[in-house]
Amino acid sequence: MTFGWQALPLYVVLISVVTAMLIFALGEGRQHVRTALNLGGAILKLVLIMLMLLAIQSGASFEFRMPLLPGLDLVLHADRLTMLFATLSALLWLITTVYAIGYLEQSPNRARFFGFFSLCVAATMGVASAGNLFTFFIFYELLTLATWPLVVHRGTPEAVAAGRLYLAYTLIGGVLLLIGLIWLHALAGGSDFIVGGSLAPLAAGNETTLRAIFVLFMLGFGVKAALLPLHSWLPRAMVAPAPVSALLHAVAVVKAGAFGLVRLVQDVFGFDLATSLGLTDLLAGLAATTVIYGSVLALRQSDLKRRLAFSTVSQVSYIALGVATGGVLATIGGLVHLVHQGLTKITLFFCAGNYAEGLGVHSVEELDGLGQRMPVTSVCFTLGAFGMIGIPPLAGFVTKWYLGAGAAASGAPWIIAVLVASTLLNAAYFLPLVHRLWFRPLPDAMAKRELAITGGRMQALVGPTIVVAAMALLAGLFAGTPGSPLFWVIRMVGGEP
């Protein structure tokens, strides 16, 4: 156990924990101190992650290890996948915090909200930097616990019911994960994540056991990643305030599930072993079904946030699809979507929050002509929608390009068909929204309605929206430039740009 600079991943997790504790201790009053704490914590965390990135560039490595039980350590480390996820969530945490400060300006229980918000990010950081499955599980469950108060934040019967559903899914998923973990532990001991998998030597004679363990893990992660048929909690959880939805969908819960699937295939089993056991086909099939099914259901939603939620169900499965297809190109596509989906979806949720706060717009029908009333938000929304559809040169296109190319390279043309169908469906549920925004006349009632957000609050909501929209745009536009998410992922996977 060393607490020197090698333990930096621990400190990155602890910053958010400490922020949360200070916010809880501070209580409801003293809003300025809380804001300073929130932003200070988020910025400090981002700075530390940047330092870690620089250090890793020059060959340093980070690991914190602490024995929890005989033979089981709490391990936090920083590999390339960690850094990808950690950077994304630290960056989006900062932006979402600014947004949430504006969003919740007048509402009660802000201390509780921001406290659990920080705790949620701490758990996400732990998930990102977990060095073995045991550590991963601890933070994965902590994430469930920290998110629940956010989902039921409003305390209405509807929110409480959504919280109950969320728990029912995630806790049962957690139990499946725990059983898989105990099983694997009995079989292999507390092996750390090793790129390429550490189970291959055990495979002979244990095929069925390993398959069962994989399925348990897949279901455990699949609940949070909203894999079919474990997705029902996600649309219901939309009763949470908009910044929560944004964070849930873009970086925290759903992403933690997807990240778990990536770790499972790449680092626990290793792609080759998983393929030889026929497991990647299973995952790819499930992911592809989810991609289509989520899109079909999104078509039918008239509530804006619910439509976005089903879009998430569909889009997050691209990550699992890419990783399960395998090969350099498809893996790049899947991993880069971790970032692309995050940036794009958070843009859309911010916009939905702006519409709801500004004009009380919740349903799709009310979007008519809003391009005139809220032009900046509407431009951002349009960018986000185009990005989701995958119109070049936006980020979604880059993902789909690599996924398609990877599918072709791996000899799985049916995946290309899935991608095409999904793109058409994405267009079918996003383009009408864009059409409504810009080409439908503004109803008189809406034209007369006063904007409920003004001044500083407006800046706090629209500013972050512009920033994430710009990031989503740039990630696609400059995908081939060093420093872009794509470039990063390509270097990580070890392919040629």
Q: Which residues bind other proteins (CB under 8 A)?
A: 24, 27-28, 66-70, 74, 108-109, 112, 137-139, 141-142, 144-145, 148-149, 152, 154-157, 160, 163-164, 167, 171-172, 174-175, 178-179, 182-183, 185-186
Cβ closest to other proteins, residue 7 vs residue 74: 74
Q: Residue 80 corresponds to which amino acid?
A: R
DSSP 327-388: HHHHHHHHHHHHHHHHHHHHHHHHHHHHHHHHH---BGGGGTTHHHHSHHHHHHHHHHHHHH
What is the smallest separation between the CB atom of 101 and other proteins, expressed in angstroms? 18
What is the smallest separation between the CB atom of 329 and other proteins, expressed in angstroms? 37
Beta carbons within 8 Å of 494's beta carbon, 6+ residues apart: 328
Cβ closest to other proteins, residue 11 vs residue 24: 24
At 49, phi and psi to the nearest 5?
Answer: -65, -40
Q: Is 108 helix (H, G, I), strand (E, B) or coil?
A: coil
CA-to-CA separations, 9 to 49, 159, 195, 199, in angstroms, rounded: 8, 34, 19, 26
CA-to-CA separations, 465 to 91, 100, 462, in angstroms, rounded: 13, 11, 5
What is the smallest separation between the CB atom of 248 and other proteins, expressed in angstroms? 18
What is the smallest separation between the CB atom of 406 and other proteins, expressed in angstroms? 36
Tell which residue, 217, 223, 237, 117, has the closest CA to residue 165. Answer: 237
What is the smallest separation between the CB atom of 457 and other proteins, expressed in angstroms? 18
State the Cα–Cα distance between residues 162 and 157, nearest whole angstrom: 9
Q: Is 188 left (phi over 0), alpha (psi -120 to 50) or beta?
A: alpha
Element (H, E) at 478: none
What is the smallest separation between the CB atom of 97 and other proteins, expressed in angstroms? 21
Burial of residue 412, with CB atoms counted within 10 A of its CB: 0-12 exposed, 13-18 middle, 19 or more buried: buried
Peptide bond into 229 cis (omega under 30): yes
Cβ closest to other proteins, residue 186 vs residue 444: 186
Cβ closest to other proteins, residue 51 vs residue 172: 172
Cβ closest to other proteins, residue 223 vs residue 319: 223
What is the smallest separation between the CB atom of 69 and other proteins, expressed in angstroms? 6
What is the smallest separation between the CB atom of 496 and other proteins, expressed in angstroms? 41
Cβ closest to other proteins, residue 213 vs residue 288: 213
Cβ closest to other proteins, residue 174 vs residue 406: 174
Cβ closest to other proteins, residue 135 vs residue 484: 135
Cβ closest to other proteins, residue 130 vs residue 472: 130
What is the smallest separation between the CB atom of 183 and other proteins, expressed in angstroms? 7
Q: Is 189 helix (H, G, I), strand (E, B) or coil?
A: coil
Token pair of 388 as six digits: 């989701």
